[in-house]
Amino acid sequence: MVYRDPRTLQEVCALQEVNLVVGDREFVTLVGPSGCGKTTLIRLIAGFGRPTEGRIRIERTSTDRPATSMVWQENALFPWRSVRKNILFGLEIRKVPSPVQKETLERLIDMVHLHGFEDRFPHELSGGMRQRVNLARAIANDPEILLMDEPFASLDAQTKYLLSEELIGIWEKTKKTVVYITHSIEEAILLSDRIVVMTARPGRIKEIIQNPLRRPRSTELMSTSIYEALFRDIWSLLKEEVLKAQATTSLQ
């Protein structure tokens, strides 16, 4: 994938020879140094651009629901809409019948633990609560694939752990196909079926690691020897790429 940098007007190769198959109901996480093309890849999957080489194919099981829904790192809620209205936005656009909207709202409010906050507005919520709403809105559309671009990056460590455990529970209930981006090895291990380690730019797949940890999972696994060994393995692969990326940045 090549694009033109708007600052320098030079062509940049963001991704190169990326071959990845994500299975139905699989949770796959991409980790890699900053600038390695993780977000570019997830935006291509979402249809926000076209690859300059190769192709992206999504095998649809239904045309009555969207192929993808995105949960962003930054707050993407409509500030003038309540929690209720934000979650239901996609269903309103698709003119889903009111009884279905009501049932969906009740189910998702329960799933993301937002009882009593249905009529609050985004500015009245904490960062963690806003991300719960973002997640509920994405799931409400019942997408084939849920795309998550560093959704917990701006949150404090304690909230990250809590939301990671909640996301594990949500995935267990919905069994959505998820493509997740993070800089956090901890998140990748806790959440994923497979962990894709990316190289420095141009982003390639350095290694794909099958997660040996059994489900269901919780943060208690972080004290186990299996977790610690997996963390070391991933970091040993990633550290070299982070150093390469930093060296390239310092030369620019």
Distance from C-alpha of 139 to C-alpha of 87, rounded to nearest angstrom: 9
**Residue 7 is assigned to a structural domain of this protein:** no
Which of 143, 158, 178 is the C-terminal boundary of a domain?
Answer: 143
Distance from C-alpha of 206 to C-alpha of 8, rounded to nearest angstrom: 28
Tokens standing for residue 189: 């291990």
| Residues β-bridged to residue 13 | 2
Distance from C-alpha of 178 to C-alpha of 25, rounded to nearest angstrom: 7
Average pLDDT of the chain?
A: 91
Query: Given the structure tokens 């020897």, which residue do they identify?
Result: 225
Q: 136 and 179 in one domain?
A: no
pLDDT tens digits, 37-77? 999 999 999 999 888 888 898 887 766 778 999 999 888 99
**Residue 214 is assigned to a structural domain of this protein:** yes
Q: 196 and 129 in one domain?
A: no
Q: 189 and 248 in one domain?
A: yes
**Residue 66 is assigned to a structural domain of this protein:** no
Distance from C-alpha of 42 to C-alpha of 38, rounded to nearest angstrom: 6
Query: Given the structure tokens 């909640």, which residue do they identify?
Result: 166
CB atoms within 10 A of CB 228: 13
Q: 228 and 153 in one domain?
A: yes
Domain count, the chain: 2
Q: 108 and 84 in one domain?
A: yes
Domain of 228 in residue numbering reads as 17-61+144-252
Q: 131 and 164 in one domain?
A: no
Q: 234 and 160 in one domain?
A: yes
pLDDT tens digits, 208-222? 999 999 999 999 999
The answer to whether the beta carbons of residues 111 and 135 sit under 8 Å apart is no
Distance from C-alpha of 239 to C-alpha of 76, rounded to nearest angstrom: 32
The answer to whether the beta carbons of residues 239 and 197 sit under 8 Å apart is no
Distance from C-alpha of 110 to C-alpha of 217, rounded to nearest angstrom: 20
On the question of pLDDT at 13 being above 90, the answer is: no
Q: 138 and 120 in one domain?
A: yes
pTM of the model: 0.92
CA-CA-CA-CA torsion sign (20, 21, 22, 28)? negative
Q: 82 and 55 in one domain?
A: no
Q: 110 and 98 in one domain?
A: yes
